[in-house]
Structure 1
Amino acid sequence: MSSKPLEGIRVLDLSELLPGPYATHLLRELGAEIIKVERAGGGDNARVIVPGVYDVMNRGKSSICLNLKNEAAREVFYRMAKDADVVIEGYRPGVVKRLGIDYDTLAAINPRIIYASISGYGQTGPYAKWPGHDLQYMATAGHTALAGDPEGPPAFAIGSPFGDISSSMFAVVSILSAVIQRQQTQKGQYLDVSITDGLAAWMLPRVGAFMYEKKRGRHFSKKDVLSRAGYGVYQAKDGRYFTIGAIETHFWIGLVKAVGIKALEDPALENVDTRTERGPEVVERLKQRFLEEDSRYWFEILEEHDVPYSPVTTLDDFFEQEHLSARGLFGGEGNERTVHFPVPMEGLDKALAPPSPDCGQHTDALLAQWGYSKEDIKKLRTEGAIQ
């Protein structure tokens, strides 16, 4: 079997909750060794706040529990950092400096270290030290203003943690880029990963549309996105929800043939601008028509006319989704399931990784790996350096 893409890469993960742990989850899926360096007194707070999230984000990782306020514990961390490729942390700006585990300190020990700090607003700027969660970052970056009712106020209308996940993705891309760059420079680097910056980058398609329409004398708003004719979520007679995506004119023509609504056969509606202007009328006619037949009927006729559609998958039927299952995306069984890395690659293991660790589960074994004797470990524990 081929080696995994990131085999031989060692990551020290100081982060908690979701952004950092999901980044290291992806890195582990690609073959990196992930060591959770957890704080004394409980470790990753996700175990208490979102235990289900903790369970799926931290499979296959090791855990060492260090009291980094203790000098002996910091010496342990320095020894580990000397042999590491990457450090990821998710503290608020300034904390790692106070603890003495910041990039400059570690780079003096290991110039090849790649150090990623994931924070809500980044390490600089007027909001840098503000507390926050996914909702605040999405609001700051502009996404919340585009959510909710097309005619209504901004809304908290997205149930997935897109902000946290976006920062995980940008962290992974940046880390892997830094690994490649290190091959040329022989030096690591510091990565300031802002959740809000990542979300702002994801706004580029919408701000592009806004600027284009502004040149034409129009004001682009969420109504233009959420009230598109033939593009939305609908309900069938049997109560099942599904989506329609007939944006392009050839898909629109297919949709009109599928639904058989005489008023929508107006040739003027084959122009996308006209469809946009008459959006509310079109949406209401489609809404009423779809309620006249069961979902099976609509799925068959929409497929027959090559109209983009999809059933709405719920959490209850997520792991039974036929297409994703056929793609081999899911692993495990029962209530011990996972979603594999979504891009098939040589060397990736489809086996379910070992369960997420207890706090400090591997402390003694990891210390021994870095040359500490049983007497050394006992002394560290007595001094309160480890847990």
Structure 2
Amino acid sequence: MNLEDYTVLDLTWLLPGPYGTMLLGDMGAEVIKIEEPTRGDYARWLEPVVEPTDSGALFHSVNRNKKSVTLDLKSDEGREAFLELAADADVVFEQFRPGVVDRLGIGYDDVRAVNEDIVYCSLSGYGQDGPYSDRVGHDINYVGLAGLMHDTVSKDGSFPAVPTYQIGDKVGGMFSAFMIASALLDREAGNGGQYLDVSMTDVVASLGTGQSWRAFMSEEVPEDEQSPSAMTAPCYDVYETKDGEYVTIAAREDKFWEQLLEELGREDLAEYQFATGADAEYAREELQAEFETRTRDEWEEYLSDETMFAPVNEFDEVFEHPQLESREMVREMDVGDGDPFSYVGFPAKSSSDIDDMRSPAPEFGEHTHDVLSRVLSEDRLTELEENDAI
């Protein structure tokens, strides 16, 4: 699995696009991050800072395997330089609000005029059309509109809970990378370049596919199965342990429910697998009493692999868990002369090498001269410098 023959011009910042372009970079693509010359990607300046680089931890986390070029796209010289880079690139990935790239003169039609085989991806909150297309937003807005937040409720269902992960941002970036790779494959088949319009809200809505029947069949589904709590049952819930930690049980299939009850010595609860109302409350209380007899780690040792059990890890425990360690999901690279910086590794394995730790996040403008010298003369580079366009 290698994208080393492809060049991506990355016009994204903060989290959504950079996560997607990092995945492409992990798979070998040359990712050239275009940053405006005064501040660059905002994530560079968010605390905490990774010493000795003076760049933020968020920036380092999602910008490995990239090059940084500073370029003022609002200037004629900067726009012309960008289009010369785009003429030799394979992908342009932008994250501006709809219409901005066209006003800058670097939109799909502008780039296609110099490179008809370009794969051009626009990632935005709501997509390039529709009544919300021009609306500003952040992750909480997208997951709210797409229904995920309404289904992320407190245990008593009293209020929607705010997810602690930026779900729309990350799945938007991931789906963009998937679409870009697919478009490149389509181009290899002789179908030319194409334009990709990815909406973070649409992607979050797609995550609801497994529950969408509740909306489409609402008149046929009993009311108690239309609510978010329909996903929970005594056999599919979270229980507190002796040490105040938590475990998850997901024994929705009969054989796993029977196995769990056998190991707990509570076969008397067999009929309560999907109980509702007072029966569900009784079964949960009984199971809760059982789980309070051991600590979370003791339960992990005690229960077999056939019980649909897993611990609820605190965030700082996740990457120390032996399962993630065995999968090499924590990787390190040196950044400058400081201590190694820890990264979350590429989330898939392949029989073809994936060299996901080739280089740490780039310094601001680190590759400006090297990259632009591919398409510009020294005189033009000097002119760009004199006009503060790089």
Confirm or deny a common fold (TM above 0.5): yes
Change (3 A) 1:341 1:297: closer
Per mean C-alpha deviation after superposition, the further-off stretch among 248-257 and 46-55 is: 46-55
Change (3 A) 1:238 1:210: same
Matches within 5 A, 1:149-160: 149-160=154-165
Seq. identity, % = 35
What letter is aligned with 1:224? A
1:183 counterpart SS class: helix
Per mean C-alpha deviation after superposition, the further-off stretch among 215-224 and 124-133 is: 215-224
Change (3 A) 1:346 1:293: closer
Please give the root-mean-square deviation of Cα atoms over the aligned residues, in Å.
Answer: 2.1
Per mean C-alpha deviation after superposition, the further-off stretch among 197-206 and 339-348 is: 339-348
Residue among 364, 383, 386 paired with 1:379: 383
Residue among 123, 135, 147 paired with 1:130: 135
- Match of residue 21 from structure 1: 18
Summarize deviations over 1:67-114 as a string: whole Å, max 9, x none: 111101111101100000000010111111111110011001100001
1:25 counterpart SS class: helix
- Match of residue 35 from structure 1: 32
Mapped partners of 2:42, 2:5: distance in 1: 28
Contact 1:29 1:348 in 2 (8 A): no
- Match of residue 289 from structure 1: 290
Mapped partners of 2:195, 2:277: distance in 1: 46
Summarize deviations over 1:166-209 as a string: whole Å, max 9, x none: 11121112111111221234421111100000011111111124
- Give the C-alpha shift of residue 275 in structure 1: 6.0
Mapped partners of 1:312, 1:364: distance in 2: 48
2:304 counterpart SS class: helix
Matched, 1:220 2:226: yes
Give the number of aligned pairs. Answer: 376
Residue among 257, 260, 264 paired with 1:255: 260
- Give the C-alpha shift of residue 125 in structure 1: 0.5
Matches within 5 A, 1:153-232: 153-212=158-217, 214-218=219-223, 219-225=225-231, 227-232=232-237
2:303 counterpart SS class: helix
Residue among 107, 121, 129 paired with 2:126: 121
Change (3 A) 1:384 1:208: same
Mapped partners of 1:300, 1:18: distance in 2: 37
- Match of residue 322 from structure 1: 322
2:313 counterpart SS class: coil
Contact 1:145 1:153 in 2 (8 A): no
Task: Flag structure 2 segments of 5+ consecutive residues without an equivalent.
Answer: 48-55, 334-338
- Give the C-alpha shift of residue 351 in structure 1: 6.5
- Match of residue 77 from structure 1: 82
Change (3 A) 1:279 1:362: same
Mapped partners of 1:289, 1:147: distance in 2: 26
Change (3 A) 1:214 1:284: farther
Contact 1:242 1:312 in 2 (8 A): yes
Residue among 339, 350, 363 paired with 2:368: 363
- Give the C-alpha shift of residue 165 in structure 1: 1.1
Change (3 A) 1:166 1:371: same
Contact 1:87 1:115 in 2 (8 A): yes
What letter is aligned with 2:44? R
What letter is aligned with 1:369? R
TM-score by length of 1: 0.91
What letter is aligned with 1:321? H
- Match of residue 98 from structure 2: 93
What letter is aligned with 2:28? G
- Match of residue 336 from structure 2: none
2:150 counterpart SS class: helix
1:203 counterpart SS class: helix
Change (3 A) 1:39 1:161: same
